[in-house]
Chain A
Amino acid sequence: MHLGTKARKNVSLAATYIILAAVMVIIIYPLLWTIGASFNPGNSLISTSIIPSNPTLAHYKELFAGKESLQYGQWYLNSLKISVFTMIGSVISVSFTAYAFSRFKFRGRKNGLTLFLLLQMIPQFSALVALFVLAQMLGLMNNHWLLILLYIGGQIPMNTYLMKGYMDSIPMDLDESAKIDGASNTRIFWQIIMPLSRPMLAVVAMNGFTGPLGDFVLSSTILRTPESYTLPIGLYNLVNDVMGASYTTFAAGAILISIPIGVTFLMLQKQFVNGLTAGGTKG
């Protein structure tokens, strides 16, 4: 009897290992394939194999060869700049707004929250024509700062909601005792609320950083010259220009962006998870 359960346990454990191994292969295969492709000589993928017989760095060199239509270094810097500033801007504006909504009773508070809830459901880029006209009217086509402002605006509703929920879980007693000690609102914000909100700040920062990296629509509407492109537009064009013809170059470009971001992500993973679980379970 005892042996029976043990045997059954072993069988089910073995099945688990087999399933997990299969899943891991499915996850790793496309990534390895891309790494392989980036070292494969030639442009065509037909002859590509995961372990190239005569690996080459030619595609990596081509990215930085300074071709008019392939300014990878510039795109990389553009994307980095836009992501970093969107992240900073969203963290600042979201935390201040969330603090106001979490700690103060003021006229328009409830309407403001409802507005945020509604706005986060309407995809920002459904207003494409408007953003295009706006950029033209302001003479800000190809301008990165306009794009950063639009991204920050897009980040505010949902993240404020998450952040407000998180701040609500910080006990009010802390504020009140600080207030008795004569601390100003701003001081309470910087010295009590912000440090305690760190897990959710990590989530907001992550959303702010990855939002622009995942956006193709807004950026392609406003950025029209190759030197102003971000990585998503640049790499998309690389894949689609002559389908397949520069796929190996794309693979090299994809690797160079994925590895730093992936590593950062895995390192900071714990921070995000804390924030996400807390925010998710509290709504």
Chain B
Amino acid sequence: MLFRKEINEKWVNAMQHRKIATLLSIIPGLGQFYNKQFIKGMIYFVLTLSFFVAFSDLLDMGLWGLFTLGTEVPRDNSIFLLAEGIIAVIVTFFGLAIYYMNFRDAYKNGKLRDENKPLSSLKEQYHNLISQGYPYLISGPSLFILIFAVIFPILFSFALAFTNYDLYHSPPAKLVDWVGFDTFKNIFTVDIWRSTFFDVLGWTVVWTLIASTLQVSIGIFLAVLVNQKDLRFKKLIRTVLILPWAVPGFVTILIFAGLFNDTFGAINNEILAMFGISPIPWMTDATWSRVALLLMQGWLGFPYIFIVTTGVLQSIPSDLYEAAIIDGASAFKKFRHITLPLILVAMAPIIITQYTFNFNNFNIIYLFNDGGPAVPGTTAGGTDILVSWIYKLTMQSSQYSLAAALTILLSIFVISIALWQFRRTNSFKEE
């Protein structure tokens, strides 16, 4: 026994255990066998085998499809092939992750042997697996749903941006091809696309800034107003003020669509008529539509800010104000120098989400008047923001690749601004 060990040791000098184990692991399980961890080795081996048995068709077909997008009509449906290809890529990713773990495990245990440390027993390994695997176990189902419902669709859309998938290149009659960055190039070079893109982007930015700032300011203003000590009926007032938040948003938007209607809406017929103002074309004139949308979003969006601000206000210690009163500060000064800074600091993350929310606020734009009024010669209406334009391109004019390319641009835009903001407000520093 001792003799065998000595020989072993000598051999090791030439070639360390960790190197051999890692090298052998090219065939999963073999490295573990070498480390005399037979059961673990078997698990890796069987896992690999079943991976190939289960997925070989999918991988073969999927990767072929991903590269070619089909060669023959009507046998191949490019879009289904693309979907299978992306699933194949996701599966491959997980396969490689397991493969990598296999290498790491063999290397780690080989190293332990090199250092003459004992390897963990099967029982210990089992306990390790349970305790280390616990977070994976409990977040696994969520990850699976996330891959299926969010990550796969996003990858798919991103891939579409590099194809020519549209009404004229549409399965099953036609094949779809990879075209690289052509669609992106077209957005910036084809005149009609470029001008539409910048018009829509411009309004999206203006919409986001004004609508969000409006709802945030109204919310804070009303919260401060209601928070005054001498005010009575606070409870009743607060309940009424949060009503717009309590009623489902799609319902209120559709109600407003009726109220603002050019011909039968109550705003033109009753309110404006009462003041002797002639009817305003809320639905058919782009500028007035925009005004209406901003007013509506102010109405819809302020209660949330109102509620949160109220919570923050109640947590501000009153001695701060007492000191200010002794110094003879006016109400406005107290607000400007004590209340507002405290609110803004405490609520920065919530305020930022208002901006990202409005940037993607599809419902109000689409449900109010379909992003209209229509603008002749373009696919975007007068009040379309990027997301509603993308929706129209997809659902109404079948320009899928253009829609996908715009999705990528939009994502880059939102993510970079949000990351910049998060970093600035430092709420990210904990991680």
Contact = CB atoms under 8 A, between A and B. Distances in A.
Specify whether A and B are partners. Answer: yes
Interface of A: 9, 12-13, 16-17, 19-20, 23-24, 26-28, 30-31, 33-34, 37, 44-46, 48, 93-94, 96-97, 99-101, 104, 106, 109-110, 112-113, 117-119, 121-131, 133-134, 137, 149-150, 152-154, 156-157, 160, 168, 185, 210, 213-214, 216-217, 221, 232, 235-236, 239, 243-244, 247, 250-251, 254, 257-258, 261-263, 265-266, 269, 272-274, 276-277, 280-281, 283
B431 A216 contact: no
A133 B82 CA distance: 10
Contacts of B366: 216-217
A61 B252 CA distance: 22
Nearest to A262: B246
Given A28-B240, A216-B367, 8 more contacts: A12-B331, A121-B356, A126-B390, A128-B390, A153-B146, A156-B150, A277-B311, A281-B347
Contacts of A27: 240-241, 243-244, 299
B80 A153 contact: no
A149 B148 contact: yes
B184 to A, nearest CB: 16
Nearest to B410: A126
19 contacts: A19-B225, A27-B299, A100-B134, A100-B138, A117-B422, A121-B415, A122-B415, A126-B390, A127-B407, A128-B157, A128-B390, A134-B153, A168-B430, A214-B248, A216-B367, A239-B257, A250-B254, A251-B255, A258-B248
Q: Interface range on chain B: under 10, 10 to 19, 20 to 34, or 35 or more?
A: 35 or more
B156 A157 contact: no
B132 interface: yes
Interface string B130-154: 0010111011011101101111111
Contacts of A118: 415
Contacts of A96: 138-139, 141-142
Q: Which of B80, B145, B427 has the most CB of A within 10 A?
A: B145
Contacts of A17: 231
Interface stretch (B22-30, B52-60, B189-197, B259-267): B259-267
Interface in B214-231: 222, 225-226, 228, 230-231
B264 A45 contact: yes
B281 to A, nearest CB: 15
Contact of B248 (A48, A106, A110, A257): A257
Q: Which of A123, A168, A210 has the most CB of B within 10 A?
A: A123
Contacts of A243: 261
Interface string B92-134: 0000000000000000000000000000000000000000101
A117 B414 CA distance: 12
Nearest to A278: B311
Given A214-B250, A281-B312, A97 B139 contact: yes
B400 to A, nearest CB: 5
B373 interface: no
A34 B255 contact: yes
B109 to A, nearest CB: 17
B160 A126 contact: no
Contacts of A34: 255
Nearest to A267: B246
The 10 closest A-B pairs by CB, nearest first: A153-B149, A127-B153, A283-B427, A130-B156, A130-B153, A277-B311, A265-B246, A100-B135, A104-B135, A280-B350
Nearest to A108: B136
Nearest to B150: A153
Contacts of B226: 20
B175 to A, nearest CB: 16
B85 to A, nearest CB: 12
B230 A13 contact: yes
A133 B347 contact: no
Given A33-B259, A244-B264, A121 B431 contact: no
Contacts of B374: none
A150 B149 CA distance: 5
B157 A130 contact: yes
B308 interface: yes
A123 B145 contact: no
Contacts of B156: 127, 129-130, 133-134
Q: Which of B142, B148, B151, B400 has the most CB of A within 10 A?
A: B142
Contacts of B225: 16, 19-20
Contact of A254 (B160, B254, B362, B394): B254
A12 B226 CA distance: 12
Contacts of B80: 133, 137
A128 B139 CA distance: 26
Contacts of B362: 123, 125, 216-217
A37 B259 CA distance: 11
Given A121-B418, A129-B157, A236-B367, A265 B245 contact: yes
Contacts of A236: 250, 254, 367
Given A24-B241, A46-B269, A153-B148, A129 B246 contact: no
Given A30-B259, A119-B146, A273-B308, A210 B136 contact: no
A254 B356 CA distance: 28
Contacts of A33: 255, 259, 266
B354 to A, nearest CB: 11
A266 B242 CA distance: 8
Nearest to A164: B431
Interface string B395-413: 1000010011001001100
B347 A247 contact: no
